[in-house]
A and B are shown apart, each in its own frame.
Chain A
Amino acid sequence: MAHAPCPFLLMDNNQPLSHSDPRRQLRMARSMCWHCQSEVTGEYFCERCVKVQPVSKDTDYFTCLGFPRRLALDPKQLEAKFYELSRTFHPDFYQTKSTNEQTISLSNAAVLNTAYRTLRDPIQRAEYLLALETGSVKDIRTSPPADLFEEILELQDTLEEYRASDRGSDQGHRLRATLQTEQEALERRKGEMESQLRRLFADWDKLQDTGEATSQARAERDRILKQMRALLSHRTYVNNIVNDLAATIA
């Protein structure tokens, strides 16, 4: 994994350092080639001895794949970059090299694979960006909106009833139909949340593109991140329930 684990968290250490973390400054230091000790100026290889260099432990996934921190990424470009870097780092191409180079290639390829997997999926990408900008999303649980919560409580009762019922009976059929309607409603709701998210993603990218550092821009940034966090959390909540529903009535 690319990142130094955060010592304040246990069991959830795949999170990158936040902007404000002082350790973030440290990685700006120039790195030295592990082999010939000269300063590494090339991107992935030492220009002097042509040895592959380890990807820094603190390189974020956007940097790793050479993309700016934006939420709209062209999947084709992302894939092309992933393939290009796979050709650079994959252990298959280091079989005839030294053990040291093989170890670096293995760990670089593992980082690259994680980076691509994370950025490829728009939701995971947003969660990751949020983590980069503000710290972990996973351990901050926002409660679901009140109306949704009521609905879910009722749904849980129906689910219990359905599980206990005879599936073939009239009651079973009736409950199943109710659950199906619920599932469709929740999927619509999830869809709405996702279009809201996409609007926020666009807002984020626009704000980044302007590159303003005014207090107004900062307030806008905080608003987007806060809303994004809430929406991502609600969406995960709804998504889990939809999956559970689908599995029960399948």
Chain B
Amino acid sequence: MARIVGIDLGTTNSLVAYMNEGQPCIVPDRNGRTMVPSVVALTDNGLIVGDSAKKYLTRNPERTVYSVKRFMGRGLSDVQSELAYFPYSLTETGGVIRIRLGQKSYSPPQISAMILKELKLRAEAYLSESITKAVITVPAYFNDSQRQATKDAGLIAGLEVLRIINEPTAASLAYGLQKNTQGTIAVYDFGGGTLDISILKLKDGIFEVLATNGDTHLGGDDVDRVLVDLFIAEIREREGIDISGYPDHMQAVRLEAERAKIRLSDELKTEIAIELPEDKGRFTRELTRDQLESLATSVIERTLTPCRMAIKDAGLTPKDIDEVVLVGGSTRMPLVRQRVEALFGKPPHCHLNPDEVVALGAAVQADILSGGTTDMLLLDVTPLSLGIETMGGVMSSLIRRNTTIPASAKEMFTTYVDGQTGVDIHILQGERELVKDNRSLARFRLKVPPLPAGVPRIEVTFLIDANGILNVTATDMRTAQSQSIEVKPSYGLSDTEVERMIEDSFKFAAEDIGARKLIEARLDAESLIKATDRSLAEAGHLVGPEEADAIRAALSQLSTVKDGTDPHAIRARMVELEQAAKHLNTVMLDDSLKKGLQGKKISEVS
């Protein structure tokens, strides 16, 4: 079976990992960096992703997308309260958020697909093989729409997503592999944008999730925002400037807040410096860890409620938990560690790299799926209750939260009116009584033969698969015929839309590769020009004047073509220049060797 990689598609950073002789490893880039910033920027040379895109956050904030994970599987009304924090423009079409970048609009799965493609390319370069299959992690508390959106992103990126796996449970796999622990563990996963808590029982290689809870809109981003709000208020008061009106400066404020928060995990105080718009100078202030903590307390307290609920749902008390494992960059904050320790009554385990453990666990799960690892098995749960709308706008629960997946439920439907030919079904997810307080997942219409009221018997099976994604099938019990159901997602791309995006992605893949080739050719040309200039200056006197002129001519031709858009032309001129300068380089090498050898005995050289 072809290799399956494990991908952590994070709010702030993303990683890809693979299994190497029974041990999961992160795929690094050429410089040894393991994380790809989850940032996509539209530049004059096209779309770029990762570290190079991050530079555009302040340079071109309206065209640089970050934290796109917050928008996966969501409508505009879900994120209304935080729209002001994002400099890029968001709209909604068909229940799906669209992000405007230049002339085009992109759905969150398309943006995520660009990040996935970058990871795919990185893994392909590193492993020297084509990568087409992946396990991708999501927050455990992601609902069906958010999971489906993640799967769509994989498809658009040209990846077959063999499994969507929950981040805290992925972490537990990596942790279990390393520590070989038995007993009950709690995984507290506090990332850039999401919080998850999972309680697991580890026994003889089985990882059984007892309960999960969380908040898909609570993360380190929220701590940054508290700081951003403080700085905005102080700048307004002290300098009389409303900095929130300047998107590029707002990004600088946000990044400075994030960096200060990170520094204060190790230091007790730090300096804040923010460039003000319109040459008004700089805003500076000292920020202490105490100040940060008093501001962040409310955010961190909010993470404890889901923890208490998960412990209760697992039928346990905090003292029943043998070990607490911390995952996610935000758990580096000392206050988070203190609060978690106070809740569970024991110091948390923080020897794992909280940034990498999720991707490593995804690689372990990938290995289980490909048949490599056979002694470990993850039994996960569905985080939210699944139900349907019944009379009076009430939700009737079919599969309760924390039910082990795969899970299924059957429901029989009939008609109330003679000759009725359809029954409308509205699927929901959530814990509240009323339909309006829960998440609408999808609607579909059951086709019913026209018969007297109450005679038709249509059995509908709701199956939550191992990805936590719902599948619906229906059978007419009178004829035993199954019928296909076209489910219309409330907050998701339709199948045809996903197909179109996959096509687009292939179409643009050619363009993207073109843009990449041009950028690389330009960079190579620039370094060749520099090197040749240097050789001419150092050793030009060693070759004849005609030869030197020929080299200069080739140089200027390459310089001209370098600013064009044809990578082939640039490469061709590079070959010409290399040919013209070949003799010069040889002569120069000989000369330097000769100089180096002067005064040395033969015995020292050989």
Partners in one complex: yes
Q: Which residues of A contact B (CB under 8 A)?
A: 1, 5, 7, 9-11, 13-14, 83, 86-87, 90-93, 95-96, 106-107, 109-111, 113-114, 116-117
Q: Are B412 and A83 in contact (CB under 8 A)?
A: no
Quote the shortest CB–CB distance from B435 to chain A (angstroms).
17
Q: How far is the CA of A246 from the CA of B524 in the complex (A)?
A: 72
B 204-225 to A, binary, CB cutoff 8 A, 1 in contact else 0: 1010100000000000000000
Partner of A1, one of B162, B369, B379, B409: B409
Q: Which residues of B contact A (CB under 8 A)?
A: 1, 162-163, 203-204, 206, 208, 365, 368-371, 374, 377-379, 403-414, 457, 459, 461, 463, 465-466, 477
Partner of A83, one of B204, B370, B457, B466: B204
Known: A5-B412, A11-B412, A117-B404; 7 extra A-B contacts, CB below 8 A, are A13-B459, A90-B379, A91-B465, A92-B365, A95-B370, A110-B406, A113-B407
Q: How far is the CA of A117 from the CA of B406 in the complex (A)?
A: 12
Q: Are A109 and B378 in contact (CB under 8 A)?
A: no
Q: Are B369 and A95 in contact (CB under 8 A)?
A: yes
Q: List 25 A-B contacts (CB under 8 A).
A: A1-B409, A5-B459, A5-B477, A7-B457, A13-B411, A13-B412, A14-B409, A14-B410, A83-B203, A83-B206, A86-B206, A86-B379, A87-B377, A90-B466, A93-B371, A95-B162, A96-B1, A96-B370, A106-B465, A107-B406, A107-B408, A107-B463, A109-B406, A111-B408, A113-B404
Q: How far is the CA of A91 from the CA of B378 in the complex (A)?
A: 11
Q: How far is the CA of A10 from the CA of B412 in the complex (A)?
A: 6
Partner of A116, one of B206, B368, B404, B406: B404
Q: Contacts A95-B370, A117-B403 hold; do A110 and B411 have CB atoms under 8 A apart?
A: no
Tell me which residues across on chain B come within 8 A of A87, comparing CB atoms. 206, 377
Give the nearest-CB partner of B206 in chain A. Answer: A83
Q: Are B407 and A110 in contact (CB under 8 A)?
A: yes
Q: How far is the CA of A117 from the CA of B399 in the complex (A)?
A: 12
State the majority secondary structure of interface residues on A: helix
Tell me which residues across on chain A come within 8 A of B378, comparing CB atoms. 92
Q: How far is the CA of A87 from the CA of B414 in the complex (A)?
A: 38
Q: How far is the CA of A95 from the CA of B4 in the complex (A)?
A: 11
Q: Are B466 and A1 in contact (CB under 8 A)?
A: no
Quote the shortest CB–CB distance from A4 to chain B (angstroms).
9
Q: How far is the CA of A114 from the CA of B378 in the complex (A)?
A: 17
Q: Are B204 and A113 in contact (CB under 8 A)?
A: no
Tell me which residues across on chain A come within 8 A of B406, comparing CB atoms. 91, 106-107, 109-110, 113
Q: How far is the CA of A13 from the CA of B462 in the complex (A)?
A: 13
Quote the shortest CB–CB distance from B189 to chain A (angstroms).
21
Q: How far is the CA of A114 from the CA of B477 in the complex (A)?
A: 22
Tell me which residues across on chain B come within 8 A of A14, comparing CB atoms. 409-410
Q: How far is the CA of A92 from the CA of B404 in the complex (A)?
A: 14
Q: How far is the CA of A7 from the CA of B410 in the complex (A)?
A: 13
Q: Contacts A7-B477, A86-B206 hold; do A1 and B403 have CB atoms under 8 A apart?
A: no
Q: Are A91 and B203 in contact (CB under 8 A)?
A: no
